[in-house]
A and B are shown apart, each in its own frame.
Chain A
């Protein structure tokens, strides 16, 4: 059985998508994740309005059941990426450009420029936990989320808009619903879960930014719950993520209601080939269970 899907108008060879913030730093590397890794689509590292260095190290840590990061949205700034855009123009893979800003105006400014580069979709990152002024400050509030989404949507026209949400929101389903009303074409959930680690010998927080976002196996139950709740609240498709590194993980997200599945930390656990591995295992499960299409099991856990 083919794993091809249609996700918000994007034709993907399989439902696995490289999550933003992992390996999306160069055009050549993104191409490798598609060709060698087997991903169905690639999300770029989030792009901001100005050049931004991000946080000092340590900025990514290996914990027992996941990763903890506070990379802090480093970005060349949309104006400093000409060569990368030129390389990406000849791409053979579906490209999702992730964008961030510290105000609605900044989101609009970045989206206007990025839309001209014709990515296959634009992901609006209103959920980064690692800087004070960007991201999550919008994503925990329905009105603010909707305002960013509708303002960006006006700029980017027909390009599908994916709103990336945070599990830190008190009611993520309500945020998703607000984004849908503001004309988002899809929801991406979840971004990382806020966390912290202290080195008891140094008696200090390990991350330079003190706080960070947890990803990997530790947050899979959080992601599953969020996707399940969002599926009930909206009609637009969901890109589910958080702790996926096997075919069974991906199927679990699909049964919760996801159309596509994002993989980030899975690259750490399984290498760049994680996408191909997840697809192979999905196919095995589908065959064993005599499932005819992914549609058949999407949201089936809702009964």
Chain B
């Protein structure tokens, strides 16, 4: 556990898609799949990122879009960044045998280590990976190595099946019985996936996101109803999602003002 941010070197950078890069750091961090670290760029900001490699050389995967991530994308190998963590609960994987993972866009990042862990344990795994285009399809190679059952969907049909990942989930659930569905992606997609699973009576664990400050359950900035995304989450189970009227509907801005998820998403851009 690294409590205060520790300045570490970027060992290597892998370009994953045209605007997503993975940063391997000279820092040891052990974490459960779905846990996250806080990354600090002095004078700029500090933000939470899921871990896409753990152990001796931990890694984070970053989409260059905001002020922080653009500054991060300007960093070269050998550059320095502050890191603290890991935080959050991570996915619970006890007693699961036949598993489906659904990921959309950069939601592929938090489920990557999960899929790799299932592969190692020899668990029956299917992965649905959705993206806008084939080029933007994150971690298709690494996820492809974890299962023969990788289903890709793209909005424009440039790779895999044209359409939504949630439609693919519906198709799979119509034919097969899974013990559990794990997911991460844009919240409207997660809400849809949850509703599909509820209709089928299948348990879910979904990785959600809110604006975050402390990362360790004190400040309340990431409140999602009665839960804290940083401490009780970021992974929430069906029993919690059922009691979460804000899920897919509302979020707190940095000021603490509650707004619609749409307004929150626009502010995040």
Chain A: residues with CB nearer than 8 A to chain B?
A: 21-26, 28-29, 31-32, 45, 51-54, 56-63, 67, 69, 71, 74-77, 80-81, 83-84, 197, 199, 201-202, 204, 206, 208, 264-265, 267-268, 271
Contacts and interface: CB of A to CB of B under 8 A. Distances in A.
B186 interface: no
A51 B218 contact: no
B217 A267 contact: yes
Contacts of A267: 217-218
B221 to A, nearest CB: 7
B258 A83 contact: yes
Contact of A268 (B5, B216, B255): B216
15 contacts: A26-B225, A28-B226, A53-B254, A56-B46, A57-B45, A60-B219, A69-B214, A71-B213, A71-B221, A199-B4, A201-B6, A204-B42, A206-B40, A264-B218, A271-B217
Given A77-B257, A199-B82, A29 B219 contact: no
A58 B213 CA distance: 7
Interface residues on B, range: 35 or more
Contacts of B216: 60, 62, 268
Contact of A84 (B6, B221, B258): B258
A268 B231 CA distance: 10
A267 B216 CA distance: 10
Interface in B29-74: 38, 40, 42-47
B258 A76 contact: yes
A298 to B, nearest CB: 29
Contact of B40 (A51, A54, A58, A83): A58
B261 interface: no
A275 to B, nearest CB: 14
Given A206-B4, A268-B216, 11 more contacts: A23-B219, A25-B219, A52-B255, A53-B254, A57-B46, A58-B46, A75-B256, A80-B257, A83-B258, A208-B45, A267-B218
Contacts of A54: 254-255
A208 B254 CA distance: 15
Contacts of B254: 53-54, 74
Contacts of B46: 56-58, 208
